[in-house]
C-alpha cells in the first residue's frame, strides 16, 4: 500500500537548502505502531536560477546583449558561461554571491552571429 505526505516545507522552514530526517509510524485502530528508522531527505526551497525572457529583460542593445538572472540564493559565486556551439562553454563572468535578481550585460555578444548562455552558482 502506498501512502503520501503533503508538507508545506516553505511555510515551516522558510527559504533553506538543508537535509531533514523523516520518520513514519503506522497506527491501526488500537492506536499502536512503531516508528520507522529515520530517512534522510534533501530539502531545497529556493527557486531555480533562470534567465528572465521578457522583452525588457532580454535584449540586444548598442552596448551588447543584456539579460536578467533571477532565483539567485546567495549560496555561491554567480558564473555566466557562454558558447557558440552548445558544446564548448567558457566562463565569461564571475560575481560574488548574490541574492535576488542580477542584470547582466555581455558587451562581446556583438562579435558573434549567435551565442548561448548558462548560469551557475558555485
Concatenated DSSP letters of 73-120: ESSS-EEEEEESSSSS-EEEEEE---EEEEEEEEGGGGG-S--EEEEE
The predicted model gives 90-115 an average pLDDT of 91
Is the entire prediction scored with pTM above 0.75?
Answer: no
C-alpha cell at 29: 485502530
In the chain, domain spans:
9-44, 50-121
The predicted model gives 49-73 an average pLDDT of 86
Residue whose grid cell is 503520501 = 4
Question: How many other C-beta atoms lie within 10 A of the C-beta of residue 42?
Answer: 8
pLDDT surpassing 80 at residue 59? yes
pLDDT of amino acid 1 = 64
Q: Are 116 and 83 in contact (CB under 8 A)?
A: yes
Q: Name the band, by pLDDT with cuts 50, 70 and 90, for residue 104.
A: very high
Amino acid at each position: 500500500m502506498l501512502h503520501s505526505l503533503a508538507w508545506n516545507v516553505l511555510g515551516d522552514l522558510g527559504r533553506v537548502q538543508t537535509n531533514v530526517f523523516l520518520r513514519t509510524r503506522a497506527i491501526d485502530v488500537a492506536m499502536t505502531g512503531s516508528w520507522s528508522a529515520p530517512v534522510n531527505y534533501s530539502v531545497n526551497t529556493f527557486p531555480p536560477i533562470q534567465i528572465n525572457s521578457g522583452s525588457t529583460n532580454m535584449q540586444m542593445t548598442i552596448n551588447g546583449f543584456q539579460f536578467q538572472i533571477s532565483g539567485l540564493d546567495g549560496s555561491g559565486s554567480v558564473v555566466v558561461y557562454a558558447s557558440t556551439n552548445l558544446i564548448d562553454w567558457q566562463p565569461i563572468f564571475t560575481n560574488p554571491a548574490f541574492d535576488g535578481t542580477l542584470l547582466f550585460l555581455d558587451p562581446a555578444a556583438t562579435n558573434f552571429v549567435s551565442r548561448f548562455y548558462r548560469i551557475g552558482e558555485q
